[in-house]
Structure 1
């Protein structure tokens, strides 16, 4: 489902019918997101332009095709491709069918090869619960025994420091016959959709959610913004939906065309929730309208407040210099941090956990503000391009020290002036070509050895900022953190082609 294409078609139709001015004026005069989405919804409904979602139908034939492709890749030792094909075989297999059982059994073999013993045991257990096919029973019981034996052995030190792989290829959760079809929406705004659904599911009923929202909105211009009342105190709890709802949407700074485009996305999501799911089953008109407003609110907060989760991946030469995006998530506390083009912290997330921490990459004295980086850094972009990007996406003009003093990009950075010879020599010794090569290859030993000396150097070199020595040490420190975070193995990033036709 391409909502950008839908938006273009809607705009073309409105232009041909000479309705742009009228629609724009109604949006401008509206003060509530509920009303804005309702107006866009009426436009799409009146023009009969709601797209039909692509449906993944259960089909034994397709399941068999994907399982055979998985078998072929597994025989060729393409484990990650095989894993994906078996996932697709499971997706298309009718519930409780022999096709589902065979797909699980075959996927357990991939997990065993990848030493993912717990995942292997989970698949075997599901097969057991559904009834072992006679031809698979001995093989699966032997695999089960081998997994348990492997898990009983003490882990090597290196294995203890390695996080389990949890990625888009995982298919977790119990089977539920109530959901025989799956809707695929190809749109980044699904994070906003998920936020709304999760917010409702965490509450016993709609009114409870609306009560929280009313409380949050009453505190928006107070010191208790994003807080929830616990007994007689206001508490900022980043696990609470209140902190997410309180994130800024910048609605007052958005153009009418931007609001309309995002309104199209919200209206389409609302239509799907009403027509294709039970999420709004028996919901009154007022509730439906408020859900539309919530969708639009979060579609506007997502681009400026959500945080990306990524991981390092190796090149064919074995260098971990590529970064792969795994997705985005809401981390309310981190959204409180302001931006700097020369930040003093970086975000750290162990691969497979979803937990995020802040790590200092510059000295931070008591009382100093923490500054994150929103994606534009003085080392990689000049001030003009940074300011343009920040103003477009985040709606502010940056006044960090790198912008005020117009710090140069990395390639134009000079050496630190009057840097003591002893410090210069220490930096050269620590970041030798050999050490840098090992960092690029993901060497944990060198990362452990360099981390503390790099922190000490950064503390001293910060007094000489901006300079190439500080930039080198900060980048190397972040490479150490990247190694601590964990890696995707080579070949894991290859995504197979599939369709729902």
Structure 2
């Protein structure tokens, strides 16, 4: 993740306002000071309140805007440009004044009651969208829009044409010979599962445990031999956020692409893919962002994720929980942090998000000052929102100075932890590449506590990615008992030189990598050796092909047998056949596709296992196999296929 919060211009204005006092203020920000004290100091700066208080644009529904988009849609529809007409009718619906929605038994979306004449714009937009959906043979969706138009005050004198369209839809749907292609087809992949959970960390496989060291802190280690392709962790994503450009093309709840969206009844910023997702969003976190989303939605995800982490925990519980976690940090060993009273590391428990690494002590003063500015802005947004500081009865209560500092200090912490632990949220696009191959498009970010335990290696042993609302960790090489389970924070050794990798890691993650690829300065992919050398199991030097002896310790590999040696000629033949099988498969399978066969994975996994066991690394064919396996593992996720011309 980037170390930028996207607030540099605001911070520069504050620094200019502080003038000669800035250096004195900056000296009070250092890694050994706690976040509460640093935030309290920041909150006391009148210059901060003058320059950083957000000015939130108004995002109200507009009959005029709705009418404008609808008329533009009509022009596109008349020109038979159905895809453009659909987009414009969607905008008309999103901007139209909306009546209240009842969510559950007793919760209503916070939109003002609209008389029929005000909701007429919404009804007209739904009716017009139903027309283009009918032309596109999306009959079920057409019927839904006709129903919505009727429910929202569609004019009586125009209803007859909707009734006829409804009848035509029913006839078409009852015609078994009619061929219809959906604009958007959603393909669901069976969610990955772990065979047996770690009893203390349920999101982890029992093949993995958490360990602690003074040099790297908490990390993950294998408890038994792990095979390539094995799922090691499946965890519900704790928080996720979309980048601004996707807010009106993807569902705000499930993040799936939607071509026929439903609006929020209050704001014009986001969309939902279904009534179910809309109900979940309006009764959940969207309620806490709706009226500030015109400002919050434009911010970097490294600001939005901390806001969502904090607001998952109601304010009436927050102070008590933060005090408890503070006491736990002071009394418990590092390896016990995040575990509840039952000794469980529960991914849904806020305490697990309060013990992630922040690298606070390694950040320079300017970085801490900027992050504190970010926390200040988020706290201001919470105050402007008036949906977070609620009492037991759900009524707004004016926060005290102490309340504000507690919340701001927590946000300060979560911004730092997200910068060190966040993941990019990828969407699989079924035909995104120039050659028709699937592509992973980053549309946002996410964070989860268990998957954050894996440390970095430039030759990572696992991949970590999102699959729907799950974070999943999968092995891409053999991991022996006692070996660390490592993920990758950036492009690996094959794509970047060691100097570039170390520069990026030092800047954004504040450590110098000491993985084998860095310590031994492995070459990039283009310069990796294609030929392979077998390794001695005793000293790990290469075995001479001329006499079958280890080049260093002299161990004999001409006969083999047992657990100490092997017959080098037999292994040479076995490796050669595995390489040949992999290269043959790759020749016919030029890119990672969606329609892969499990046999292709078996061929790849077999090669990786054999080379892990017998071959000196790095090696180009081995690296190629790991990249291929990683791509296939990433592609095993839900995706949508969109009709050509409607992307």
Give the gaps of 5 or more residues in structure 2: 100-118, 180-184, 191-253, 262-270, 273-277, 390-395, 535-571
Do structure 1's residue 381 and structure 2's residue 496 form an aligned pair? Answer: yes
Q: Which one of the candidate residues 98, 109, 117 is aligned to 2:120? A: 98
Task: Give, in whole Å, the separation in 2 of the partners of 1:492 and 1:215.
Answer: 55
Q: Which residue of 2 aligns with 1:136?
A: 162
Give the gaps of 5 or more residues in structure 1: 201-205, 496-501
Instruction: Within 5 Å, give how 1:191-210 maps onto structure 2.
Output: 191-200=305-314, 206-210=315-319
Task: Give, in whole Å, the separation in 1 of the partners of 2:347 and 2:403.
Answer: 26
Q: Which residue of 2 aligns with 1:406?
A: 521
Cα-Cα RMSD:
3.7
> Displacement, 1:273?
1.8
Instruction: Within 5 Å, give how 1:226-241 maps onto structure 2.
Output: 226-229=338-341, 233-241=342-350
SS of equivalent to 2:294: strand
Task: Give, in whole Å, the separation in 1 of the partners of 2:501 and 2:139.
Answer: 46
Task: Give, in whole Å, the separation in 2 of the partners of 1:115 and 1:225.
Answer: 56
Q: Structure 1's 436 and 198: CA in aligned 2 closer, same or farther, altered over 3 A?
A: same
Write out per-residue CA displacement over residues 11-61 of structure 1, whole angstroms, 9 at most, x where no aligned residue: 2333xx211122113334983323323333324445455241222222111
> Displacement, 1:226?
1.1
Task: Give, in whole Å, the separation in 1 of the partners of 2:66 and 2:517.
Answer: 55
Q: Structure 1's 51 and 471: CA in aligned 2 closer, same or farther, altered over 3 A?
A: same
Asked whether the equivalents of residues 459 and 488 of structure 2 are also in contact (C-alpha less than 8 Å), the reply is yes
Q: Which residue of 2 aligns with 1:436?
A: 589
Using the TM superposition, name which of 340-349 and 425-434 deviates more: 425-434
Q: Structure 1's 390 and 114: CA in aligned 2 closer, same or farther, altered over 3 A?
A: farther
Q: Structure 1's 148 and 101: CA in aligned 2 closer, same or farther, altered over 3 A?
A: farther
Instruction: Within 5 Å, give how 1:97-496 maps onto structure 2.
Output: 97-106=119-128, 126-127=148-149, 129-130=151-152, 134=159, 135-140=161-166, 143=169, 166-167=256-257, 171-172=271-272, 173-174=278-279, 183-185=294-296, 186-188=298-300, 189-200=303-314, 206-220=315-329, 221-222=332-333, 223-229=335-341, 233-280=342-389, 281-285=396-400, 286-313=402-429, 314-315=431-432, 317-320=434-437, 322-350=439-467, 353-418=468-533, 420=572, 423-432=575-584, 434-437=587-590, 439-440=591-592, 442-444=593-595, 446-463=596-613, 464=615, 465-487=617-639, 489=641
Asked whether the equivalents of residues 391 and 397 of structure 1 are also in contact (C-alpha less than 8 Å), the reply is yes
> Displacement, 1:424?
3.5
Q: Which residue of 2 aligns with 1:499?
A: none
Task: Give, in whole Å, the separation in 1 of the partners of 2:316 and 2:255.
Answer: 39
Task: Give, in whole Å, the separation in 1 of the partners of 2:441 and 2:187.
Answer: 23
Task: Give, in whole Å, the separation in 1 of the partners of 2:85 and 2:449.
Answer: 37
Q: Structure 1's 359 and 23: CA in aligned 2 closer, same or farther, altered over 3 A?
A: same
Using the TM superposition, name which of 409-418 and 306-315 deviates more: 306-315
Write out per-residue CA displacement over residues 419-455 of structure 1, whole angstroms, 9 at most, x where no aligned residue: 6355335434433464232x35x251x4433111111
Q: Structure 1's 82 and 245: CA in aligned 2 closer, same or farther, altered over 3 A?
A: farther
Q: Which residue of 2 aligns with 1:9?
A: 13
Q: Which residue of 1 aligns with 2:547?
A: none
> Displacement, 1:267?
1.2
Could you say which structure has the higher helix fraction? Answer: 1
Asked whether the equivalents of residues 238 and 333 of structure 1 are also in contact (C-alpha less than 8 Å), the reply is yes
Q: Structure 1's 357 and 47: CA in aligned 2 closer, same or farther, altered over 3 A?
A: closer
Q: Structure 1's 38 and 62: CA in aligned 2 closer, same or farther, altered over 3 A?
A: farther
Task: Give, in whole Å, the separation in 1 of the partners of 2:466 and 2:6.
Answer: 31
Q: Which residue of 2 aligns with 1:50?
A: 53
Higher relative CO (CA 8 A, sep ≥ 6), structure 1 or 2?
Answer: 2
Q: Which residue of 2 aligns with 1:498?
A: none
SS of equivalent to 1:217: helix
Count of aligned pairs: 473
Write out per-residue CA displacement over residues 127-159 of structure 1, whole angstroms, 9 at most, x where no aligned residue: 454456524344356547867999xx9xxxx97
Task: Give, in whole Å, the separation in 1 of the partners of 2:533 and 2:292.
Answer: 68
Task: Give, in whole Å, the separation in 2 of the partners of 1:64 and 1:477.
Answer: 51
Q: Structure 1's 5 and 45: CA in aligned 2 closer, same or farther, altered over 3 A?
A: closer
Task: Give, in whole Å, the separation in 2 of the partners of 1:168 and 1:257.
Answer: 41
SS of equivalent to 1:323: strand
SS of equivalent to 2:11: helix
Instruction: Within 5 Å, give how 1:17-32 maps onto structure 2.
Output: 17-28=19-30, 31-32=33-34
> Displacement, 1:320?
2.4
Q: Which one of the candidate residues 89, 92, 112 is aligned to 1:89? A: 92
Task: Give, in whole Å, the separation in 2 of the partners of 1:459 and 1:425.
Answer: 13
SS of equivalent to 2:20: coil
